Structure 1
Amino acid sequence: MSRRLLLAAIAVITLLGGAITYVVHARTGGATENAVPVVTDQPMTLDARTLYFRNLAEGPDTGKLAAVPVGDPGAARRVGELRCDRFAAARSTAICLRLKPGSLPPLTDMIVLDANLHERHRETLPGTPSRARVSPDGRIVNWTLFVTGDSYAATGFSTRTGLYEVDTGRLVKTIEELAVFVHGKRYFASDVNYWGITFAADSNRFYLTLGSKGKTYLMEADYRAYRGTAIAENVECPSLSPDGRRIAFKQKVAAGSWRLAVLDLATHQITHPPETRSIDDQPVWQGNSTILYSLPNPAHTLDIWSVGPTTRPELLVSQATTASFS
């Protein structure tokens, strides 16, 4: 090969390499140094080897459900066709909350999905998506919607939290009829709000936040008895560890600012993982020692981070939110 042809071939290879790099960078929004490729139009099913999340990389697939292997979160993200504002899964059940475009007042579709992410049930409910969870056995899905306001940092916000039994089809549009006790007395107030349900493995015991008169309480509730008791204060968006021994939550430290905290249910001792940034999210447990949560990034979207009891926070998945395992 002549020197001229050799130089031309090198130039073409260099240009192609630059084009490939650009495509990978652009598909992930160009917001992080560790940009990863995105593989689109991928079929998805629920399995225990996968981390699911909302894809926030710029482009037509923003907001669609994406997935990476649990053991390789930096791998190319697979993006399907399901678009959700909130997503959660457990066993063979998933919930997708999707704001109906153009609805005034706002309406949200609550969509129950099977293991192949095919729709099993749908309800249209008033409000905008806030939180979503599935009980560990996949039998109950639950959600929280903002009925007024759009942030827990806002004053005067109102939420509506509901449940759906997958096997029976029983729908509880709001749990406001739950009998609650604070400091040993039945509690009544016109400003009560509930949000952030998390179920134990038996699908009967559950925890949630009760907000009223400027305070928040962690409620431990019995689903069959439909009764809850306050067991701690200043607890928001609880998440029960898989072994049922600890609650990860956001603890308010100032107006519009929360710190990640963990409550030991046996001792009621509260500890703080080494994450000092403000977290406005319902944490997700990965096993019994690692906690996932979302934080804002310089691109004005969100990234998923992880932290352990003593390990430093690590960026897990960039341009992503609403982490979930099945």
Structure 2
Amino acid sequence: MTLRSRVLILVSALAVLAGVAAASVLHASARADRRDQARPGGPRITSGRLALTGGGRRMVFRNMAWGPHRDELVSVPAADPSGPRTASGVKCLRFHAASGTGVCLRAVHGPVQDTYRAVILDARLRERAHYDVPGVPSRARVSPSGRFAAWTAFVGGDSYAGTAFSTRAAIVDTRTGRLTPTLEAYRIVKDGRPYRAADVNFWGVTFAADDRTFYATMATRGSTYLVRGDLRARTLTTLHANVECPSLSPDGTRIAYKKRVEGAPEDAPWHLYVLELRTGRETALAEPRSVDDQLVWRDARTLVYALPGDYGADLYAVPADGTGTAHRLTGAALSPAYVD
């Protein structure tokens, strides 16, 4: 047998072994995926078409269940949040949508380290534009009209509960592509006076329906504030202390948010509240646990948010008026948006 023949036999044997190994891995992976989806109480997930308009009232969110659709956007009827899920094939770390426009914050895997990107999606989840994100994504919002999108990223540290972190909150006009990469470029009015400080951070943008007004959290000198932003004047004005991750109600009159409470553990410091913007009256919500999320208004009466779960996160709902009790909507889910 010649040397060339021996080499060919060796190469062929290696190819066969590699094929057997790959088939074994794929078979084991498929079995694991089926096992995960067959667990009692686990979600049923099938591939399909997903759009941000049409098809009735639905909830779209990041699927956290292990299996072939992990991290994909999935859809369920709003009236059946624990029902079968339709998976889109589009993966996001954070997501929000309104009026046929979505914002998807995703990782871009590189040979040395991951980077992050904000992707603007159309109603059929096709990419319209994308923008670099300078750190780990944490919050995402689209304005009611779909014209503006915002996102927040950590650029240092890894938790709002700590003190050594920095954030960047960006806003983009999805029609023109004009990007404000950081709200630190806006003029700040604090307690009626111009304010400047090196330690200012912003996060958790939420939009009003007028395509001009928005709200966010500002942190400076160890305190947090609710600020009202003006997209045309490029100003930020403080309104209320101790407000984080605001979420504006559909009628624009109330802000749902997390608030640090005295006596709570340092690593679980937040309780949920609703603020009436006209009167400044605060109402504590019936959720006894600490919540580190930006709430979503399902409707004028109900708020939805994430808490840690077996797959990473589960979604819960609580009445917005302080009555009732919190209850679990669905498991293995994060970053919901309600679409029609």
| TM-score in terms of structure 2 length | 0.84
More off after superposition, 164-173 vs 233-242 = 164-173
Letter in 2 for 1:217: Y
Contact 2:66 2:311 in 1 (8 A): no
Matched, 1:243 2:254: no
Instruction: Tell me how far 1:34 sits from its aligned partner.
Output: 3.2
Residue 273 of structure 1 corresponds to which residue in structure 2?
Answer: 285
Deviation at residue 147 of structure 1 after TM alignment? 0.8
Q: SS where residue 36 of structure 2 aligns?
A: helix
Among candidates 321, 324, 329, match of residue 311 of structure 1: 324
Aligned length: 300
Query: Does residue 295 of the first structure (1) align with residue 295 of the second (2)?
Result: no
> How big is the alpha-carbon RMSD for the aligned residues of Structure 1 and Structure 2?
1.7
1:325 pairs with 2:338: yes
1:19 counterpart residue number: none
Find the counterpart in structure 2 of residue 45 from structure 1: 51
Equivalent pair of 2:65/2:311 in contact (CA under 8 Å): no
Structure 1 distance, partners of 2:311, 2:86, is: 22
1:209 offset after TM fit, Å?
A: 0.2
Superposed displacement of residue 24, structure 1: 7.1
Report if the CA contact (8 A) 1:284-1:323 is conserved. Answer: yes
What is aligned with 1:219?
227
Match for 1:306: what amino acid? A
Measure, in 2, the Cα distance between the counterparts of 1:137 and 1:70: 20
1:62 CA drift (Å):
1.1
Look up the match of 2:26.
Answer: none
Task: Give the whole-Å Cα distance in 1 for the aligned partners of 2:200 and 2:92.
Answer: 28
Task: Give 2:315's aligned amino acid.
Answer: I
Q: Which residue in 1 is equivalent to 2:37?
A: 27
Residues 112-134 of structure 1: CA deviation (Å, up to 9, x unaligned): 00011111001122111110000
Q: Measure how far apart 1:72 and its partner are.
A: 1.2
Does the residue aligned with 1:27 lie in a helix, a strand or coil?
helix
Cα deviation, residue 271, structure 1? 0.3
Quick check: 1:249–1:283 contact (8 Å CA) kept in 2? yes
C-alpha displacement of 1:154: 2.2
Residue 105 of structure 1, CA deviation: 6.8
Task: Give a deviation string over 1:95-116, Cα, whole Å, max 9, x none.
Answer: 0001222476753111000011
SS at match of 2:203: strand
Confirm or deny: 8 A CA contact 1:106 1:126 kept in the other structure: no
How far off its partner does 1:167 sit?
1.0
In 2, are the aligned partners of 1:24 and 1:35 still within 8 Å (CA)? no
Give 1:270 shift. Answer: 0.4
Q: Deviations over 1:38-97 (max 9, x none)?
A: 11x211101351101110111121111111001111210111100000010000100000
Match of 2:184 among 144, 155, 176: 176
TM-score, normalization by structure 1: 0.88
Q: What SS does the aligned partner of 1:176 have?
A: helix
Range that drifts further, 239-248 or 142-151:
142-151
Query: What amino acid maps onto 2:45 in structure 1?
Result: V
The answer as to whether partners of 1:106 and 1:127 remain within 8 angstroms in 2 is no
Q: Take 1:201 and 1:249, find their aligned partners in 2: how far apart are those partners?
A: 19
Relative to structure 1, the CA distance from residue 123 to residue 311 in structure 2 (aligned partners, 3 Å threshold; closer, same or farther) is: same
Shift of 1:148: 0.9
The within-5 A match list for 1:186-197 is 186-197=194-205
Aligned letter for 1:204?
R
Identity of aligned residues (%): 42
Aligned partners of 2:132 and 2:274: how far apart in 1?
Answer: 34
2:245 and 2:34 map into 1 onto residues whose CA distance is 35
Query: 177-186 or 227-236, which moves further after superposition?
Result: 177-186
1:214-233 Cα offsets, whole Å, 9 max, x none, are: 10000012111111211100
Alpha-carbon distance between aligned partners in 2 of 1:295 and 1:125, rounded to the nearest angstrom? 25
Quick check: which has more Rg, 1 or 2? 2
Alpha-carbon deviation of 1:26? 2.1
CA-CA distance at 1:203 after TM superposition? 1.3
- Residue identity matched to 2:36: A
- CA offset digits 1:212-264 (Å, max 9, x no partner): 11100000121111112111000000000000010000101243321011001
* Change beyond 3 A, Cα 1:25–1:240: farther
Please tell me whether the aligned partners of residues 65 and 81 of structure 1 are also in contact (alpha carbons under 8 angstroms): yes
